[in-house]
Amino acid sequence: MNKFRPFRFLAAAVMSLGCAALAPTATAAEDTGLDALSAIVEAWRTSPHADHGSLSFTYWNKDGAVPENCAACHSEPGFIDFLGADGSEAGIVNHPAAINSVIGCASCHTETAHALDSAVLPSGVTLEGLGGNATCTICHAGRASGDTVSAATTGIEEDTVSPDLAFINVHYGIAAAVMQGGEGRAGFHYPGKSYAGPFLHVRDADTCVACHDVHTTKVEPDGCLTCHRGVEELVDIRMRHDDFDGDADNSKGIQSEILGLHARLYAAIQAYARDVAGTPIGYGKGTFPYFFTDTNGDGTIGEDEAVFPNRYQSWTPRLLKAAYNYQVAAKDPGAYVHNPAYVLQLLHDSLENLSEQVSVDMQALSRP
Ligand code: HEC
Ligand code: HEC
Ligand code: HEC
Ligand code: HEC
Ligand code: HEC
């Protein structure tokens, strides 16, 4: 599977030239090599990593620099600094980094990045033997873990509203943490429950770079469908047949079970906030910090409600844990592939925990 070796000289050329001057000046490379190289540049250009207009690379433009705690994943020089590939200390960003700096060739193709084999998740768990997946794992692990939630809620009664609590956001694109399941502790784990470990899947599709084209970041479905026959779309894939979301329908993909359970959890979060915490809540999709007070009680968050001063502020530990796990599932749209059992467990247990206070019919719900 490793296509890297035959193209070593190209990767070396990439490193010495820097990306901007790449294709036209790599005269030493053979024609076929040049074609391959320009194909890679083209592929990368279409990827989200190269999207100059994205919020991921422009969010800090008003400040003029990306601060140290954001730069590792949102600016190429920040990532190089984090890896220590610029001669600085590894594992920390030493300086604010350039704005408008997308994740280019030099992010993943320095000697340091090539040699990198491990990454540390927000839970503190270190993953080894990552090879080409190490760079992906660093940036796609999120910024919080279930441990963050435990620490924030310790010592507060489960159903007591506390001004010391605020929503904890796991961050975005958290595939690498979700893939590790219970061992990575991306989600909040309820005491006494056990959680599925890393989703190993099958040998040809068990790492980021095995499934995602590293340059486009896209997943080529044909390879998947040689095993998963009879489905049109990847989201229709299903290998386990229990009814996890209680809708008595197991004819659709495992993704439909995750979405179904996610919607049930949302309803329970709303019921709990209204009846137990005493203040109605709603989710403002795409607006930080996501959970807002449903001031008019219509069950949805309108534009006027999705504003920071109206952020939800009646958190109890029980509500925060469920809302945190709700967001974990929301912020890995590929969770149905990365680790379906783990997210189903997180959603199931969150719902079960809320059912101690509000009415939820758990009878129909299987836990994987
Ligand atoms: C560990 C890596 C990492 C760190 C550190 C990090 N981010 Fe991110 N962030 C990401 C990734 C990955 C995405 C894109 C996920 C996707 O689009 O799938 C993202 C996306 C975002 C987005 C776009 C969200 C959206 O809805 O499109 C914003 C805004 C953002 N981050 C802000 C921040 C801020 C502010 C900080 C520092 C306080 C920060 N990030 C630190 C990894 C990180
Ligand atoms: C997000 C990280 C990342 C970025 C950005 C990136 N690469 Fe790569 N690249 C990789 C990884 C990982 C591999 C090894 C792929 C494998 O093992 O299958 C690779 C492989 C290669 C190869 C070897 C040939 C191949 O297809 O495997 C070349 C050449 C290359 N990259 C050039 C580039 C160039 C040029 C750019 C910028 C336009 C770039 N890369 C941007 C991660 C990246
Ligand atoms: C330096 C940090 C960094 C590295 C390294 C990195 N990514 Fe990303 N990735 C991001 C950010 C930031 C975004 C969001 C870009 C945007 O909003 O346009 C992103 C977006 C993505 C997306 C698309 C998400 C979406 O919302 O559509 C995929 C898939 C992805 N990355 C996979 C990978 C893989 C696979 C690797 C390793 C080969 C990798 N990434 C390496 C930071 C990184
Ligand atoms: C078994 C194959 C497989 C593995 C392994 C895998 N992914 Fe994915 N990933 C997918 C599929 C399929 C999707 C959904 C993509 C889609 O719908 O376009 C996805 C989605 C994503 C997304 C979200 C894209 C979006 O639309 O927001 C990111 C980010 C991502 N993967 C990164 C990674 C990283 C980083 C790794 C390694 C830690 C990884 N993936 C491992 C198959 C895989
Ligand atoms: C070599 C055959 C093979 C290939 C190739 C393959 N898979 Fe799988 N897939 C399996 C098997 C076997 C399972 C069941 C694994 C388990 O549950 O431990 C599975 C499970 C899954 C599941 C979880 C289904 C459920 O109900 O829990 C998803 C989603 C999935 N694969 C998606 C993909 C995607 C996307 C790709 C391509 C990137 C892919 N698979 C490639 C054999 C394959």
pLDDT tens, residue order, the chain (368 aa): 333 443 454 555 555 444 443 444 445 555 778 899 999 999 999 999 999 999 999 999 999 999 999 999 999 999 999 999 999 999 999 999 999 999 999 999 999 999 999 999 999 999 999 999 999 999 999 999 999 999 999 999 999 999 999 999 999 999 999 999 999 999 999 999 999 999 999 998 999 999 999 999 999 999 999 999 999 999 999 999 999 999 999 999 999 999 999 999 999 999 999 999 999 999 999 999 999 999 999 999 999 999 999 999 999 999 999 999 999 999 999 999 999 999 999 999 999 999 999 999 999 999 99
Distance CA 88, CA 68 (A): 13
Take atom 11 of ligand 4 and give the residue whose Cα is closest: 334
Q: Cα torsion at 10, 14, 16, 18 (round to 10°)?
A: 160
What's the farthest any 2 CA atoms get from each other in the chain? 71
In testing the pocket of ligand 2, which one of 38, 107, 108 has its CB within 8 Å of the most ligand atoms? 108
Ligand with minimal distance to 344 CA: 5
Q: How far is the CA of 336 from the centre of ligand 5 (A)?
A: 10
Determine whether the shortest distance from the Cβ of 73 to ligand 4 is under 6 A: no
- The binding-site residues of ligand 3, defined as CB within 6 angstroms of any ligand atom, are 48-49, 51, 54, 56, 73-74, 79, 103, 107-108, 135-136, 139-140, 173, 208-209, 212, 214, 217
Take atom 10 of ligand 2 and give the residue whose Cα is closest: 214
Take atom 34 of ligand 2 and give the residue whose Cα is closest: 105
Q: Which of 133, 106, 103 is nearest to 210 (CA)?
A: 133
Determine whether the shortest distance from the Cβ of 7 to ligand 2 is under 6 A: yes
Residue 14: per-residue pLDDT: 55
Peptide bond into 289 cis (omega under 30): yes
Q: Which of 336, 345, 93, 127 is nearest to 233 (CA)?
A: 336
Determine whether the shortest distance from the Cβ of 171 to ligand 5 is under 6 A: no
Q: How far is the CA of 129 from the centre of ligand 2 (A)?
A: 18
Task: Tell me how far apart the terminal alpha carbons of the chain are, to the nearest angstrom.
Answer: 31
Distance CA 305, CA 308 (A): 9
CA distances from 98 to 52, 57, 70, 75, 82 (A): 13, 9, 11, 6, 14
pLDDT tens sequence across 2-19: 334 434 545 555 554 444
Ligand with minimal distance to 76 CA: 3
Distance CA 50, CA 6 (A): 25
Answer for the pair 74, 59: CB distance below 8 angstroms, yes or no: yes
Determine whether the shortest distance from the Cβ of 23 to ligand 5 is under 6 A: no
Q: How far is the CA of 334 from the centre of ligand 4 (A)?
A: 5
10 Å CB burial of residue 127 (0-12, 13-18, 19+) is: buried
- Token pair for 116: 């990198």
- Token pair for 26: 């790599």
> Which single residue is written with the structure tokens 């990365």?
338
Answer for the pair 134, 282: CB distance below 8 angstroms, yes or no: no
Ligand with minimal distance to 26 CA: 2
Distance CA 8, CA 254 (A): 39
Q: Which atom of ligand 3 is nearest to the CA of 56?
A: 17
Determine whether the shortest distance from the Cβ of 175 to ligand 4 is under 6 A: yes
Determine whether the shortest distance from the Cβ of 342 to ligand 5 is under 6 A: no
Q: Cα torsion at 104, 124, 117, 97 (round to 10°)?
A: 20
Determine whether the shortest distance from the Cβ of 210 to ligand 5 is under 6 A: no
In testing the pocket of ligand 5, which one of 239, 250, 339 has its CB within 8 Å of the most ligand atoms? 239
> Which single residue is written with the structure tokens 């400040």?
63
- The binding-site residues of ligand 1, defined as CB within 6 angstroms of any ligand atom, are 55-56, 59, 69-70, 72-74, 139-141, 143, 171-173, 286
Answer for the pair 354, 200: CB distance below 8 angstroms, yes or no: no
Take atom 28 of ligand 5 and give the residue whose Cα is closest: 337
